Amino acid sequence: MLFAGAAQAHRLGESYIYLDVSESALTGRFEITLNDLNKVFALDSNGDGEISDHEFLAQSDVVQSYLAPRLMFYHENQSHPIVVTRSEVRDYGVSNFALVHFEVPSLESVPLQIETEYQFLLEGFDSTHRSLLVIENNPRTKTFENESQVALIFAPGAERQNLSLNGTPWQEVMLAFIKHGVWHIWIGFDHILFIISLLLSSVMILRAGGWEPVGDFRSAFLFVVKVITLFTVAHSITLSLSALGIIKLPVRLVEAVIAASIIVVALNNIIPVFNRWIWLVVFGFGLFHGLGFANVLAPLGAERSSLLTALIGFNIGVEIGQLAIISVVFPLLFMLRKRRNYQFQMLRLGSAALILVSSFWFIERAFGL
């Protein structure tokens, strides 16, 4: 699988550690946006709202002193601290990144497995920020100039992890991508709102041009199962095709259509014109949601030999995330469906709120605002 290049491998809301591995040395660098570093250090000395290369380099010693003790390697009960060697600034298009280079001088030979601890995320960052560790060069696994295959993801509660320097076992790949899939659903508010817009009307049935509460839990639940199954099949198809490089659409188009999908389904809750064909609407939009998942999966990367495992794991994770949402929201809506104000407050006003939020997203994404 040939995923994103260097430009796509760098995104806002992420910081990076790149490693170069040889039999006798372990070296690397941090890559962190200047704006993110400004959350910890007052880099903007002239107060113009932008951090220049000069402003960062003027305080690079302070940044280096801060970062050095926050990355530690462990092997056979021995700690191996890093030594920072130099800093520079590089423009990756999305933002200017500070590159802080380091080496691990106490390692006389590089082991096949090594524990890695990174504590940078504990100060100045929100809970959605992630730091990705990428093995850029490793002759053992015939990896050279890799920018997209992520080995570890550091997050709050996952600061210390085992790093394989001799290839990743398929079980670890599967588990890692299941976690990626679950996490993406839980932070992917557009996907969550699409599911909720479907669930709002799932406890109602259309009769004589109007909505009425369904009679029993089983019929409503079966409807949800059918709709979500269609959604799952659709996004699995395009996720796989995109990962294989068979299909690729502009990110702005995909994200705009995803926002539009919420508008259409929520509007159908108010004016049910697509109700008979809702399965077709869900399947069609599910294809675009799959491309949206692929845009998230791409920078995480996967070794070519692990592509199938990564795809299966990510899809499983997405399904677990979806089921978690459904298991909480659907029973609650089912209990509320017969209340006198459900149609007005939950179905109509709730759908109107979804349309408002999604319209903002659509304009923002379609026009690149």
With CA atoms as reference, report the closest residue to 153 among 327, 346, 13, 334: 13
Res 259: pLDDT: 94
CA pair distance 307, 301, nearest whole angstrom: 9
If pLDDT is split at 50, 70 and 90, which confidence band does 225 have?
Answer: confident
pLDDT at 13: 77
Q: Is the dihedral of CA 173, 322, 129, 311 positive or negative?
A: positive
Q: How confident is the model at residue 341 (pLDDT cuts 50, 70, 90)?
A: confident
Token pair in block for residue 343: 């149609």
Q: pLDDT-based confidence at 298, cuts 50/70/90?
A: low
Cα distances from 26 to residues 22, 79, 219, 343, in angstroms, run 6, 14, 59, 62
Report residue 265's pLDDT band, with 50, 70 and 90 as the boundaries: very high
Of residues 91 and 208, more confidence is placed in 91
One DSSP character per residue, 179-226 reads: HHHHHHHHH-HHHHHHHHHHHHHHTEEEETTEEEE-S-HHHHHHHHHH
- pLDDT value at 343 more than 80: yes
Q: Could you tell me the pTM of the whole model?
A: 0.60
pLDDT given for residue 66 in this prediction? 93
Residue-level pLDDT at 305: 52
Mean pLDDT of the 88-98 span:
90
In the chain, what are the domain boundaries? 6-167, 176-366
Examine the pLDDT at 244 and tell me if it is beyond 90. no
CB 30 within 8 A of CB 102: yes
Q: How many helices (H) and strands (E) does the chain have?
A: 11, 12
Q: Which of 44-48, 166-170, 194-198 shows the highest mean pLDDT?
A: 194-198
